[in-house]
Amino acid sequence: MADSALQNTESSDCTVDIDFGLEGEGGNLVLQKVRRGLDQSIRDNSKAAASKTPPRILCMVYTVHLEANPHASLTAIAQTWATKCDGFFAASNLTDPTNGGIDLPHFGEESYGNMWQKVRTMWSYAYEHYANEYDYFYICGDDVYVVVDNLRAFLNSPRIQELENGFLDSIANNERFKERVYPSTILRPRPLVWGDPIIHKKFPVAAGGGGYIFNRASLMLWGTKGMDTYYSLSIDSREDIMMFSFISDHHVFLSETVDSNGGHRFTESAQFVHDFDGKTGPTSPQVLKRFLDIPMNKNADYASETLISFHLKLDMKRLKKMNRSIADLIRRYHAVLYRTACDQKG
């Protein structure tokens, strides 16, 4: 079900007239910052839609249906941020039209250790069914909250048009990578990818946790050069490393996503951002700063007002102590960002 026909429903965490909730006190401060940027993004998107055809975005989520967790996080996503996408599907082991889940078989068993096969199958499915229907393709797990209106505004921005026309940003123009990335910069259409950078074997790749974006040209590259042969029988949990090894083999590197104030558009949870010291984190901030000269602001300054993705995994331990879940947190983020009370549609 690619066309997004998902509807918002009531949830137990959409009370907005409190100082803070599951997101944490510091997390709420970060969400309020992002909400200010979101309001502007919504206005910008409305203006852009009046003058040009807006980009069509397909959102894809990988998940699994378990007896102990029967699509709880996926259902929360389907009822919140997925409604903002132009199309949506979730690769699972069970088809459920109510939340976009489809039973998408892949080589090997259904396990975290085989994430590469699940994700490569999703990209192949997108290529075979939706390559000409959408302009951009976002993939992530079911522990992510995506601010889709900020994503849309980012993809609508002049910088994206410049990149598509061959502009070299700070990553492509980096002396370490410039020669290797050059062949892809002269292609038209130019393959582009965006995400939360990490360094792997001295090259930038996107961390899979918070998700990443392909434009259509990158999807076509996968469909024509990688889908049939690239590690088609390999069992590996490192889906991000595997996919970006393929992309970089074809001279495509990440494009930058940090805003003009040094704010990051792909982060961990809002509470993590509030507590961030500028030095320690899953993406090895000091390594990024050294290799890519990416600013590492502290605390709320680390997050962009136009942040795109919150990866909520690090909040799981805190939530478990409260007998709450990632699904609850996803609904809570949506309530704060869109001021959506339980009897409202957001």
The mean predicted confidence, pLDDT, of the chain is: 91
Res 37: pLDDT: 98
- CA–CA distance, 257 with 329 (Å, rounded to integer): 25
* Helix or strand holding residue 272 (H, E): helix 270-275
Contact indicator for 176, 205 with CB cutoff of 8 Å: no
First to last CA, the chain: 21
Residue 344 has pLDDT above 60, yes or no: no
Q: What is the pTM of this model?
A: 0.92
- Report the pLDDT value the prediction gives residue 295, as an integer from 0 to 100: 84
Residue 289 pLDDT grade (very low, low, confident, very high; cuts 50, 70, 90): confident
Reported confidence tier of residue 13, pLDDT bands at 50, 70, 90: low
| Cβ atoms 206, 197 nearer than 8 A | yes
More confident residue, 300 or 205: 300
The Cα–Cα gap between 103 and 219 comes to 22
Q: Indicate whether 55 pLDDT > 90.
A: yes
Provide the b/e sequence for 60-86 (b: ≥16 CB within 10 Å): bbbbbbeeeeebbbbbbbbbbbbbbbb
Partner residues linked to 137 by β-bridges? 58, 214
209, with CB counted inside 10 A (0-12, 13-18, 19+), is: buried
In this structure, are residues 250 and 179 in contact, taking their beta carbons and an 8 Å threshold?
no
The answer on pLDDT for 1 being more than 70 is no
pLDDT higher than threshold 90 for residue 80: yes
Residue 14: predicted pLDDT: 57
Distance, in Å, from the CA atom of 105 to the CA atom of 92, rounded to the nearest integer, reads 8
pLDDT digits (tens, 9 = 90+) for 95-150: 999 999 999 999 999 999 999 999 999 999 999 999 999 999 999 999 999 999 99
Per-residue pLDDT, 3? 56
Cα distances (Å, whole numbers) of residue 7 to 73, 81, 181, 205? 15, 10, 42, 34
Yes or no: say if 221 and 191 are a contact pair by the CB < 8 Å rule. Answer: yes
Instruction: Quote the pLDDT of residue 7.
Output: 45
The two structure tokens encoding residue 315 = 């909040």
**pLDDT-based confidence at residue 287 (cuts at 50, 70, 90):** confident
% the chain with pLDDT above 90? 79
